[in-house]
Structure 1
Amino acid sequence: MTPRSGLNAALLLLSASLSSTALAQAQRAQDISGPASAGTNNPDARARATEKAMTEEERYRYLDSPMALDLPGLAQVPEGAHPAVGYVPPIPRLGLPALYETDASLGVTNPSEVRKGDWSTALPASISLASTFSPELAERGGAVVGQEARAKGFNIVLGGGSNLIREPRNGRNFEYLSEDPLLTGLMAAGSIRGIQSQKVVSTIKHMALNAQETLRMTLDAHIAEPALRESDLLAFQIAIEQSAPGAVMCGYNLVNGQYDCENEFLLNTVLKEDWGYKGWVMSDWGAVHSLQSVVNGMDQQSGSQLDPDVYVGAPLRKAVAEGRIPEARVSEAVRRILRSVYAVGADAPFTSEPAPIDYAAHAKVAREAGTAGIVLLKNAEDILPLAASAKSIAVIGGHADMGVMTGGGSSQVTPEGEVATLPIGGRESWGGWAKAVYFPSSPLKALKEALPDTQVEFDSGYYHQSAASFAARKEIAIVFVTAWSGEALDGSLTLPEGQDALIEAVAAANPNTVVVIQSGNPIKMPWLDKVKGVIEAWYPGQEGGAAIADILTGKANPSGHLPVTFPRDESQLVRPEIPGLGEPEGTRLVVEYTEGADVGYRWYAAKDLSPLFPFGHGLSYTRFAHEDLRVNAAPGSAPTASVSVRNTGAKAGADVVQLYLTSGPKGATRRLVGFQRVDLAPGEARKVEITLDPRLLANWQDGAFVQAAGRYTFAVGHSAQDLSAPVELTLTQRSLGR
């Protein structure tokens, strides 16, 4: 979320996550009577009955979800409520509890510890979660978030980031999932299902094309409809179909000349008409510019203090009274909110006492997810796992003695223990919010515990020559490097603060050098040929130090696979320079997404480019073979594929079977059409079966997805570029609808 300017900018990130310790106040109104629609479990019928019983005042109040915060000149907490980033008061006579909203993309947030002594489970970054290629693990993580949110007095979670990673330097990529619509859609759906299993509404956000933070409030994304339907919108469509999120959050930017939150094509035509979406559209905080938002599909104005006006208040009432907006539009918007609340069970009363939270069990989920998301990029001469017989190891840099890095912004979680905070600084009011936070999970400590017979010592890496001399006296050197990223600021492919030079110096001094990266984006590696091992740990969450140690020592076998392509340098990007970088805030910027639907690895395939590491790449301490790929399709049915996967190595491990479309009637292409994560013991083989979504074989034309008649070829592989011999399938033309 972001403000428009001034005071709003300084307060937004705090307001995005505040809540209260006063749960007793939060759970007032437990003497509510039964809902007007008692006797039916049909959420549509209940919503219609309740909306019909509401007064005019109650209807309009339901469309406004202001911040409930004690912030001078900006917001205040209503009597009987507790602080929340968004708040709708209860209607006791209709059985409707208050709606309390919290940011919780990676865990329930509590910046600056405004709830004194209250902390939440901090999950790994979304991009790390996507590296697991496991919707099941995403669902378990979502359940952790949902359970803790409800226990803390919230029934709406602002999560479900589903924007495709088009710009690898985007400061918010760590909150998103991948560059592929299938992977993004299925992983987002898993998280949303988990959240909503706890009677908490989840959003999906930010619809659509929120691809960079630079000038995000004024950027106008231009893209043709077919390309948009086949890429970013398809990710949202798959996620919505698979998880039915209660709310969709529209974004800040414009798409083809209209702001997201008043984009009739996105909200009315695509979301509500074509997809038949039954939930509600809420605005992002500070993203509403006019009453036209209500006409064009927005149902609820969130954080309305950050907008020029409370458009769903007096302006909407006046427009309805004058006949410019039908009253039925107000009723529809209210019903959509009620419908989702009932469908998810978010109307369930909060308990009078805080619900117990099994933090130990949740920590296990965080550790499992963090471990499974770590990607082994290089392992020359099998430098990893670290041999227990090693006499000495140098751990250098990255504040590995303190903990593991996290991304910044409205998703920042406060975990158990004392965090370390290093100010990044910056221009204007946002500079005060730019702080690198380290969770108290030290990789150094975890390595010492895992290798009690090995001398494991630390050097900060502050002085490169000193670090190199230190490394030269050890058998193995592990260099930890970090690249902080956060909301409202785009990053770089280059490691900051001279860390490339640190790696070069250490590698020159010790031939057995391993690099561990903590980042929210891909990075360049000019030193790649000079080191033996490279691990991408992303932002691994509150248990990240232990997860990294588990991978380095072999307690866990690495199984993560890249959800985003790592370019060799900026020359391989669609846009070598970040559009608008350096321009003053408020500058209107048009970005032509000329790559269309060829996002990420599809761009590299179309341009015959060889990246540093391709999408889907990820090594293991064992090896896997794929055999006997078959693809079949009965007339009028979705194609199915099967392949035998065998662990040919000596260690148990998990493989991610990746199935790609490699050509179609229109020629060569590259598209992930299916995947499955499978755990195998040494020597074990298993047959994996995948049902393909026909839309992934189709193109958008004449208002629908159309599968062309002709020959299609498929290949299975370990990445988007490491593929088996193709198999063929002939299909007839088929219209798949919208």
Structure 2
Amino acid sequence: MSTPKVWTSLSVMAVAMASQPAAAQAPNAQDVAKADARAAATVKAMKTEEKTILTHGIMPMDLGIGTTKIPADAVPGAGYVAGIDRLGVPALKESDASLGVSYVMGLRKDGATALPSGVLQAATWNPDVLYRGGAMIGGEARAKGFNVLLAGGVNLMRDPRNGRTFEYLSEDPLLSGMLVGAAIRGIQSNHIISTIKHFALNGQETGRKYVDIKISEAAAKESDLLAFKIGIEQGQPLSVMCAYNRVGGQNACSNDFLLNKVLKKDWGWKGFVMSDWGAVPGVEAAINGLDQQSGEQLDKGVFFTDQLAAKAKADPKWAARVDDMNRRVLTAIYAAGVDKFPAQKGGKIDFAANAKVAEDAAKQGIVLLKNEGGLLPLMKTAKSIAVIGGFADGGVLSGGGSSQVQGEGGPAVTIPIMGDGVWAGLIGQNYHRSSPLKAIKAQAPDAKVTFRDGRYITDAVEKAKQSEVAVIFATQYTTEGLDVPDLHLPNGQDELIAAVAAANPNTVVVLENGGPVAMPWLGKVKAVVEAWYPGARGGEAIASVLFGDTNPGGRLPITFPASTDQLPRPKLDGSDWVEPNFAGDPTSGSDQLHADYDIEGSDVGYRWFARKGQKALFPFGYGLSYTTFQTGGLALKGLTATFTVKNTGARDGDEVAQLYLATRNGEVKQRLVGFARVSLKAGESKPVTLTIDPRLLADWKDGQWVTPKGAYGFALGRDAEHLGEKVNITLPAKSWKE
């Protein structure tokens, strides 16, 4: 494994690296190499019967699925893999954790700090935010006794209806890869193993156990796989979690191309591949690259114990594979220091300090989408404010599924989504205990602040008429296991917003949503604030932006389409017949559902819009501020770009500088090639230097990266649709292996 290259703003990386605690550094490539050598020695010392201990694990919870004996040292959570006491190998205790230590439906009877959604964190465009969030999660996980976190979600948003968009980061491989790498470094600085997931091309929840993804190798390498590659280079994750879906007809967790050829051979990655829960089709997955069967109760059988041992006894090829499986798991344990620095249940957690980490992330990732007439920031001397809808009196919305996190005391509001049974609690609609109404009252203590829940439009309209300003909280709940059928706000909220806006000309909409939404009322309201799922201190963060204590600096990491007709697949594949499926067989229905990603290929999101010449409702990279910025003076020397960012307004604020490849040899070829979040005082200017990763300029052809000779046009952009003057440079033809 080679030392990773760093391809981003020097200033951004300096901030990110400075935040790492001196006492515990995340493992680097050299640490992994040393751990690999130690692991090889341990494998030689293992007895035959010990070689299927580390290759499988259970969910240490009573799921009502068969009879699973739960070990005394297990912590209720996602997974448990037994250790080998004779060799000093500790048990692996796993928790879902992309957004915080998972609530697991309240079974542990404790709480954790909820970070904002992944897409909000990506809207910060700030690796330091992701690093600090990861470090916080890792610290809380250690205090709860966990040593493996199922974090690092980096799948690109290929469809805005995906129920897990909120967990992931963006639609761009550079932005996603750089940010997920920072999060993984933060987690692993706690002597904890982090995954990167879900490998790969996990683009929808509909039929997720068996949807077959069609995509060329070149398109995959230039998009989703590049996001994973950059994330692995930047974060050095010690585990990869494979996905539920099929790719090219093979289950992702039994996919020779993805796991053996790309991940282990081409990339030289030394960690271990764990399955997603209930994603293993059979023992042959081991030969195809899977190292560990996770949550074995959810599969058709336990494949990586007796069946695996029998294969190894009968065939030297299988015996060598089993040794490699163990070596990879041990490499991760040793590189993270899991054996030398054991996590201890019952550790102290500073929830107040950790809440500030979550709040700062929310403040940096909230995006101002519209601000007609400068209505925002609201004056703290306002006489009357009507707050309407979204359970804003109780809390802020969070996404559902395995990544669900809740603080001490559980959610403020819970709405059942799916009947009863073991999985009902997993996808319930839950709200964090952070009331926007309370926070707004604190910001405007002399105002008459009233609340209406929005169930009755006439009631909300009457209250809006009586107030200077109306602030509507609109929610779109999304969850693992379900995609949304369309992009409209549910429960009649579009009609509510239109009616309130007609009654009060000063109407502000605050969106709490998992992904892009349609806005048929956009022309009728004065301001729109994109708050996403804002986490444990979301109410306070929203109020801070509304009243100007925080100048919004978030920028969209995903495109908001004007219509689903603009998408590569206007109709979501399988949405007309597939039901939610958590514990089902990953092979059932395998020939019935296909998704053709070759339609857009590597042109995901804004690249597709550029290729088609389409205008989005709000483009990738978009966001307003309470001040103004000027970015210019772009110059390129080879693949190093320099320019200056200036705050030309009267308020301090943050700008996200975005550098795009715009054309290649005269052809539209739009790709984000660099970014930097820059904090500027009023009137201040700063120089920025970006180093461009040559893979972002290249095509994948015949097993290598290729950049054709010719003219490459680069431009600074306010967002992906508003590019400045192009600067052209000529580059020679070049090709190279991964």
The TM-score normalised by the length of structure 1 is 0.92
Q: Measure the CA separation in 1 of the matches of 2:104 and 2:433.
A: 16
Residues 67 and 76, structure 1, Cα contact 8 Å, conserved in 2: no
* CA distance in structure 2 between the partners assigned to 1:101 and 1:432 by the alignment: 19
Q: What is the DSSP-based 3-state SS (H/G/I as helix, E as strand, rest coil) of the residue aligned with 2:308?
A: helix
Distance 1:619 1:270, change over 3 A: same
Query: One-letter code of the match for 1:497?
Result: N
Q: Does the aligned pair in 1 maintain the 2:645–2:688 contact within 8 Å?
A: yes
Q: State whether structure 2 residue 219 is matched by structure 1 residue 227.
A: yes
- Identify which of structures 1 and 2 has the higher relative contact order when contacts are C-alpha pairs closer than 8 Å and 6+ apart: 2
Match of residue 634 from structure 2: 629
User: After alignment, is 60-69 or 347-356 more displaced?
Assistant: 347-356
CA deviations on 1:530-562 (whole Å, 9 max, x unpaired) are 001001100000100000000000000000000
Question: Which AA in structure 1 matches 2:706?
Answer: V
Q: How does 1:341-490 map to 2 (within 5 A)?
A: 341-350=333-342, 354-426=346-418, 433-490=426-483
Rate the CA distance shift 1:258–1:448 in 2: closer, same or farther, 3 A: same
Q: 1:494 aligns with which of 481, 488, 492?
A: 488
**Within-5 A mapping of 1:146-545:** 146-323=138-315, 325-350=317-342, 354-426=346-418, 433-491=426-484, 492-545=486-539
Q: Deviations over 1:37-56 (max 9, x none)?
A: xx999212211111111111
1:396 Cα deviation from its structure 2 partner: 0.6
Aligned-pair distance for 1:113? 2.3
Q: Distance in 1 between matches of 2:77 and 2:612?
A: 48
Q: 1:683 to 1:40 in 2, by over 3 A?
A: closer
1:70/1:349 CA distance change after superposition, 3 Å: farther
Is residue 729 from structure 1 mapped to residue 729 from structure 2 by the alignment? yes
Question: What amino acid does structure 2 have at the position aligned with 1:401?
Answer: D
The Cα shift of 1:424 comes to 4.2
Corresponding residue number in structure 2 for 1:676: 676
Give, in whole Å, the separation in 1 of the partners of 2:380 and 2:208.
49
2:666, 2:57 → 1: CA distance? 48
Task: Read off the aligned partner of 2:214 and give its amino acid letter.
Answer: H
Distance 1:525 1:342, change over 3 A: same
2:558 corresponds in structure 1 to: 564
Deviation, structure 1 residue 76? 2.5
Distance 1:567 1:197, change over 3 A: same
Aligned-partner Cα distance in 2 for 1:256–1:731: 35
User: Which residue identity is paired with 2:649?
Assistant: G
Q: Work out the CA distance in 1 between the residues paired with 2:477 and 2:32.
A: 50
Q: Distance in 1 between the 2:105 and 2:729 partners?
A: 57
Paired letter, 1:615: F
Structure 1 partner of 2:686: 686
Structure-1 separation of matches of 2:513 and 2:404:
15
**Cα contact 1:423–1:434 (8 A) shared by 2:** no
Deviation at residue 702 of structure 1 after TM alignment: 1.2
Aligned length: 694
Distance 1:65 1:114 in 2: 19
After TM superposition, list the pairs within 5 Å mapping 1:23-42 onto structure 2.
Answer: 42=34
- The answer (yes or no) to whether the contact 2:205–2:483 under 8 Å persists in 1 is yes
Q: Deviations over 1:482-541 (max 9, x none)?
A: 000001000130000000000000000001101000001100000000001001100000
Q: Distance in 2 between matches of 1:74 and 1:699?
A: 51
Task: Give the 3-state SS of the residue equivalent to 1:301 in structure 2.
Answer: coil
- Quick one: distance in 1 between partners of 2:247 and 2:420? 27
The aligned residue for residue 140 of structure 1 is 132
Paired residue type of 1:336? R
The alpha carbon displacement at 1:349 in A equals 4.2
Amino acid at match of 1:193: R
Check the 8 A contact 1:262/1:293 in 2, yes or no.
yes
**Alpha-carbon distance between aligned partners in 1 of 2:495 and 2:374, rounded to the nearest angstrom:** 25
1:61 Cα offset (Å) = 0.8
Partners of 2:329 and 2:530 in 1: CA distance: 41
Q: 1:87 to 1:105 in 2, by over 3 A?
A: same
CA separation in 2, counterparts of 1:189 and 1:468? Answer: 47
Residue segments in structure 2 that go unaligned for 5+ positions in a row? 1-30, 580-587
Equivalence for 2:8: none
Distance (whole Å) between structure 1 residues aligned to residue 343 and residue 702 of structure 2 = 52
Which one-letter code corresponds to 1:591 in the other structure?
A: A
Equivalent residues of 1:624, 1:648 under 8 A apart: yes
What is residue 610 of structure 2 aligned with on the other side?
A: 605
SS at 1:174's partner residue? coil
Contact 1:70 1:76 in 2 (8 A): no
Gaps of 5+ in 1: 1-38, 634-638
Contact preservation (8 Å) 1:694, 1:736 = no
Q: Which residue of 1 aligns with 2:7?
A: none
Cα deviation for residue 192 of structure 1 reads: 0.4
CA RMSD of aligned residues (A): 1.6
Provide the C-alpha distance between the structure 2 equivalents of 1:551 and 1:69, rounded to a whole number of angstroms: 41
Alignment partner, residue 25 of structure 2: none
Q: Does the Cα contact within 8 Å between 1:425 and 1:433 map onto a contact in 2?
A: no
Residue number in structure 2 paired with 1:29: none
Determine what percentage of the aligned residue pairs are the same residue. Answer: 52
Please state whether the residue corresponding to 1:488 is helix, strand or coil. coil
1:250 touches 1:282 (CA, 8 Å); kept in 2? yes
| Secondary structure class of the residue paired with 2:121 | helix
Inter-partner Cα distance in structure 1 for 2:420 and 2:706:
49
Q: Which residue of 2 aligns with 1:696?
A: 696
Are the equivalent residues in 2 in contact too, given 1:516–1:536 (CA < 8 A)? yes
In 1, Cα distance between the equivalents of 2:195 and 2:342?
Answer: 20
| Alpha-carbon distance in structure 2 between the residues aligned to 1:83 and 1:474 | 49
Task: List structure 1 runs of 4+ shifted beyond 6 angstroms.
Answer: none
Query: C-alpha distance in 2, partners of 1:551/1:726?
Result: 34
Kept after mapping to 2: 8 A contact 1:421/1:435: no
The AA in structure 2 aligned to 1:234 is L
What is the alpha-carbon distance in structure 1 between the residues aligned to residue 44 and residue 425 of structure 2?
47
Q: Secondary structure at the match of 2:187?
A: helix
Q: Where does residue 13 of structure 2 map in the other structure? A: none
The whole-number CA distance in structure 1 between the counterparts of 2:239 and 2:177 is 16
- How far did residue 324 of structure 1 move? 7.0
Alpha-carbon distance in structure 2 between the residues aligned to 1:704 and 1:71: 46
2:606 corresponds to which letter in structure 1?
Y
Contact kept? 2:142, 2:345, Cα under 8 Å: no
What is residue 4 of structure 1 aligned with on the other side? none
Contact 1:111–1:414 (8 Å) recurs in 2? no
Once the two structures are TM-superposed, the CA of residue 348 in structure 1 deviates from its matched residue by 2.7
TM-score (normalizing by structure 2): 0.92
Partner Cα separation in structure 1 for residue 413 and residue 105 of structure 2: 11
| Deviation digits for residues 72-125 of structure 1 (CA, Å, limit 9, x no counterpart) | 424221244343422122323322221101111110012332223x21111000
Aligned residue identity for 1:701: K
Deviations 1:627-653 (A, max 9, x none): 2001111xxxxx010110000001111
Distance in structure 1 (CA, Å) of the matches to 2:227 and 2:712: 22
Which secondary structure state, in structure 1, belongs to the residue aligned with residue 723 of structure 2?
coil
